[in-house]
Amino acid sequence: MKLEEYINKGLTYEDYITRVEDELENEIENDDPKEYVQYYALGLQRMNRVYKTFKLNPAQETRIKSTANNFKLLIITEGWCGDASQILPVVERFANALNVSTHYIFRDENMDLMEKYKTNGAASIPIIIGVNEDNEEAFRFGPRPKAGMEMLARFKNNPDKYSADEFHEDLQHFYNKNKGEDIVNEILDLIDENIAN
């Protein structure tokens, strides 16, 4: 599948943040019909904090020096998404260190593409797609790191013993403690497996 159309209409990280800020203002002005104000506001706050505080560890910095960068990242997301607020700033800082361009598109405006990137039948986001020089998918990451996916599976398999509140609390603790390390390592592994240097 050619992804050039989506790459071309994708926003930069800065433009994505501006658009999310605009969405927040719009939700406030329209009395928040979807009750998303809190999610947009919290997401922006988290993204700002994670972007400012995230640092690659020394092993990752060394590994990046020999990592291929002949690809782009296409990111399917929405401003209200809690996982996106933790993952996207890490991906952006990582992409900057690797000198790889990022292109952000909104899921709800691109459901035709999202249909092809569902996770277990759900339109879960964010989805990060590595796009090769032929504008085709080379790899995908998301909607969360493996540890987060395991927590979600635990919740889905037994919600009576592991509630949604426990899942969300554990996931937030994971993101805060892990500080993006698994996100970067998992994407580096995908690059090494799928992009020729």
| Domains within the chain, CATH numbers bracketed | 4-144+180-194 (3.40.30.10), 146-178 (no CATH)
**At residue 86, does pLDDT exceed 90?**
yes
**At residue 92, does pLDDT exceed 90?**
yes
Percent of the chain topping pLDDT 70: 98
CA distance 118 to 141: 12
DSSP annotation of 97 reads: H
**At residue 31, does pLDDT exceed 80?**
no
74 beta partners: 103, 129
Q: Check residue 36 and give its pLDDT.
A: 78
In this structure, which amino acid lies at residue 46? R
Which are the contacts of 167, defined by CB distance < 8 A and separation ≥ 6?
151, 152, 154, 155
Q: Check residue 33 and give its pLDDT.
A: 58
Residue with tokens 């797609």, as numbered in its chain = 129
Please give the average per-residue pLDDT across 48-66, as a whole number: 96
CA-wise closest residue to 91 among 77, 80, 110: 77
Q: Check residue 32 and give its pLDDT.
A: 62
Please give the average per-residue pLDDT across 177-194, as a whole number: 96
Q: How confident is the model at residue 21 (pLDDT cuts 50, 70, 90)?
A: very high
Q: Check residue 162 and give its pLDDT.
A: 85
CA distance 66 to 101: 18
Question: Is-contact 107 128, C-beta < 8 A?
Answer: no
CA distance 175 to 105: 23
Q: What is the mean pLDDT of the chain?
A: 93
Q: What is the pLDDT of residues 96-144, one digit of tens each?
A: 999 999 999 999 999 999 999 999 899 999 999 999 999 999 999 999 9
Structure token pair of residue 102: 């990022």
* Residue-by-residue DSSP string for 11-70: BPHHHHHHHHHHHHHHHHHTT-TTS-HHHHHHHHHHHHHHHHH----HHHHHHHHTS---
Q: Check residue 34 and give its pLDDT.
A: 61
CA distance 112 to 101: 23
In this structure, which amino acid lies at residue 106? F
Q: What is the pLDDT of residues 158-181, one digit of tens each?
A: 888 888 889 889 999 999 999 999
